Amino acid sequence: MAWRSSGATNEELVNNLHKNGVIKNDRVRQAMLGVDRDHYAPRRPYEDCPQPIGHKATISAPHMHASACESLLGHLNPGSKVLDIGSGSGYLTHVLAELIKPHGTVIGIDHIQALTDLAKSNMCKSKEGTELLDSGTVKFITGDGRKGWPEGAPYDAIHVGAAAAEHHQVLTDQLRAPGRLFVPVEEDYAQHIYVIDKKEDGSLERKKLYGVQYVPLTDAPTV
């Protein structure tokens, strides 16, 4: 599905993702129309592919952002609490905030300070993004996302934007019941998206979805 949905403008990109069936729900479409990807991707913002943002990180492809929102949508409602691990450019953090505002919170966490600074300055390129930061609807934290962020738990939804080497129980521990974790997991030299639901009784249900290619969740660089 990569490449097919590119457009000349943000609106064209989002409408192509919708036409191609990647965006199914109008709430996701409206949220992505409300965030100009040009504020987050340094070049070719409306191409449906990942782009480098420095520090060995990439802004993920629009079709991956769209399918993460589609998958988490049942847990993204006004007032929801969301954790976005590996927030990188801040693009998805902003889109998630569009889906839970005005009363919820989205915490973006990245282990590279320069990237949490970049995410904040990217959000400040729009009036809407600035308001989300000023109101505390969006917060960026610098830290090791493999530990989640217990201070803000429990979360209705947790998105992981880098590939995990294992199922991190610490993350499902921080989910509300019900709640959902969307995480790329690396196993046998391949990566797949897993969706892990914590049901109302606290039990977990894991589903393996499709193959992907993400940068890995790692130790923080030492320089």
- Catalytic site positions: 60
Which of these, 64, 191, 70, lies nearest to 89 by C-alpha position? 64
Residue 70: its H or E element: helix 62-72
Site membership for ligand SAH, residue 57 (CB under 6 A): yes
Task: Choose which of 5, 6, 89, 191 interacts with ligand SAH (CB under 6 A).
Answer: 89
Cβ proximity to ligand SAH, 117 vs 177, nearer residue:
117
Q: Which is nearer to ligand SAH, 52 or 79 (CB)?
A: 52
Q: Report if residue 86 touches ligand SAH, rule: CB under 6 A.
A: yes
C-alpha to C-alpha distance for 141 and 99, rounded to whole angstroms = 20
46: contact with ligand SAH by CB under 6 A: no
Cross-sheet strand order for the sheet of 81-85: 138-142, 105-110, 81-85, 155-160, 175-187, 190-198, 204-212
Ramachandran angles phi, psi of 32, nearest 5°? -75, -30
Closer to ligand SAH by Cβ: residue 40 or 179: 40
β-bridge partners, 186: 191
Q: Applying CB under 6 A, does 172 fall inside the site for ligand SAH? A: no
Alpha carbon 219 to chain centroid, angstroms: 20
Taking the least distance from each CB to ligand SAH, the nearer of 102 and 110 is: 110
Told to check if 59 binds ligand SAH by CB under 6 A, we report yes
Q: Give the residues across from 160 on adjacent strands.
A: 85
| Near ligand SAH by CB under 6 A: residue from 70, 117, 131, 144 | 144
- Does position 47 bind ligand SAH by CB under 6 A? no
Nearest to 3 by CA among 66, 46, 54, 42: 46
Q: In the complex, which residues of this chain contact ligand SAH (CB under 6 A)?
A: 57-60, 85-89, 91-92, 109-112, 115, 144-146, 161-162, 215, 217-218
